[in-house]
A and B are shown apart, each in its own frame.
Chain A
Amino acid sequence: MRNIGLLVMRELGGYLRRPSGYYIAAVLLLLDGLLFNAFAIGDERQVSSEVLRIFFYFGGAVTMIGGVLFSMRLLAEERAAGTDVLLFTSPIREGEIVVGKYLATLLFMSLVTLCSLYLPALILLNGKVSGGHIAAGYIGMILLGATTLALGALASSLTKNPFLAVVLTGAIVVLLELCYPLSQTVDPPFRELLGYLALHTSHFTPFQNGLVQLSDLVFFGGVIYFSLLAATKVLESQRWR
């Protein structure tokens, strides 16, 4: 835990001092604002909960984009800069390195996500929405981002090129999301199986509607756990290469 805490603090310091984190944060918040303006508010009059639902729909997608972009700052950048040597020659386990860097990035990404809270606040000012709906939506957005980021950690462990890590993560996420439309074209049991893999469509929709379901929590938790475990195993296997 001590090593993880140490890495989290260092990584967070890195995010706050280097411009790359701010650039990504700016892009994500700009996207949030534009999409909110274009789709959630729109031209037609809508009930507040519907506006909030649409905001979360696009907000979830933006958080996924954030997860993909932040994946470059996970392990690939460390390897590209050669600073991984400092970590791998220190008495710190590969799992601690993966979790430490992942948690720091997740914390920063969650802060960026929470910066969009002013948008639901605007809805609250002009209409009536429940705090529970807002909380469920943000829990969902952070979980969606955390899952994308965990997949990014796995992709990032496979290459030392940060750009390639982003492309790989994006490809994995798009592929999983495409499973949903694909599932509509096949018969059971493949329909359920493929549909189950879509991060946003299958597992984020309940959060978007203000519903926190255990099955979705288990799904996101499972993907995060196995992705980080796989990333750790990839790092451990480097010694054999």
Chain B
Amino acid sequence: MISVDKVSKFYGRSAAVEGLDFTIEEGECIGFLGLNGAGKTTTLRLLSCLSLPTSGRITIGGFDAEESPHEIRKLIGYLPDTPPLYPEMRVAEFLRFAGQLRRMSRGEVAKRLPEVLERAGLVEVQDQTIETLSHGYKQRVGIAQAIIHRPALLILDEPIQGLDPVQIIEMRELIRGLRGEHTILLSSHILSEVERTCDRLLMLREGRIVGMGSEEELLSQLSARASADKGARVSHLVKVEVRGAEDAVRAALAIDGLEIVELTASRGVTFAQVRAAEDPRGAIARRVVEADLELLTLARTSSSLEDAFVQMSGEDA
């Protein structure tokens, strides 16, 4: 679906992105992760043909971004970090306009509109002018305009930016619901969102890819780095909940390469958070059972990948 071949983009002498090289298959949901200024938006702008690479080649759906941007635009739906909305238009009217702009006939738009309004949760506000909507609803209208023409490729730049927790959950559900229908590229600096929504992650730092793959693969990559560099922090963060005394649990967790980050006990249950270079869950389970303790919880915390993210984003290249 997408092939990015040694792509760089310079603004003057400064490189916004450099040496990007990856492919994305049809139907995948890819998360672009990186701190602010890492090059996420530049990458998405390149993929949506809003700007051209200084060097390298991008092909989408078999079309070259430099030679056939018009053909590529037929394939994409794009939501930038600020939704491109005309405040004086009504929601349904705006979506009709967006659909017709993407080559849909009036009939096609009329048929598709109720489905999009329903999916984006906009039925109740369809007759309201956009300027009267809350930020969350505006973001929904932004997504609705991006999907109304059933694009093969959906590009969402920071779709949850500025949303409150309830809106974030709703937006997450909305995006999840779109998987399978589109190839989705999603950028965020909030790792937990990308982690929960995407099949594969692509980590950017200072315009370069520092990690790419599934959550497991990224953790493995980081483990490999940690092994190569003994000074590096370990990457797997696991929480353990065991029914038993604190000392007994501490003894059970005395495993080579395992660092106990936190250990607290309350009402006969000991809670621990541990770190290790390799996934320690198997070893922990065995040791706890061997110690005749009752294992209540053994799970990797969401911050495992966060750990990887921080390290990959912050370490020296």
Give the interface of A toward B (CB within 8 A).
3, 6, 10, 13-14, 17-18, 81-93, 238-241
Contacts and interface: CB of A to CB of B under 8 A. Distances in A.
Contact of A85 (B74, B80, B100, B102): B80
Nearest to A86: B84
Interface of B: 11, 48-52, 69-71, 73-74, 76, 78, 80, 82, 84-86, 88-89, 97-98, 100-103, 145
A93 B85 contact: no
Given A6-B97, A239-B51, A89 B88 contact: no
A202 B85 CA distance: 43
8 contacts: A3-B101, A10-B97, A14-B86, A14-B88, A82-B82, A91-B73, A92-B101, A239-B51
Contact of A89 (B49, B82, B86): B49
A84 B49 CA distance: 13
Nearest to B71: A91
Nearest to B86: A83
Contact of A91 (B70, B78, B88, B97): B70
A91 B52 contact: no
Q: Chain A contact residues: over half helix, strand or loop, or mixed?
A: helix
Contact of A18 (B71, B88, B100, B103): B88
Nearest to A92: B101
A6 to B, nearest CB: 5
B84 to A, nearest CB: 4
A152 B203 CA distance: 43
B97 A82 contact: no
Contacts of A238: 51
Contacts of A89: 48-50, 73, 76, 78
B101 A82 contact: no
Contacts of B85: 83
A13 B88 CA distance: 9
A82 B84 contact: yes
A90 B51 contact: no
A84 B84 CA distance: 7
Contacts of B52: 239-240
A153 to B, nearest CB: 19
A86 B144 CA distance: 12
A228 B49 CA distance: 23
Given A6-B97, A10-B97, A90-B102, A17 B70 contact: no
B82 A91 contact: no
Nearest to B80: A85
Contacts of A93: 70
B97 A85 contact: no
Given A86-B145, A93-B70, A239 B102 contact: no
A147 B102 CA distance: 31
B8 to A, nearest CB: 14
A138 B186 CA distance: 53
A90 B88 CA distance: 21
Contact of B49 (A13, A18, A239): A239
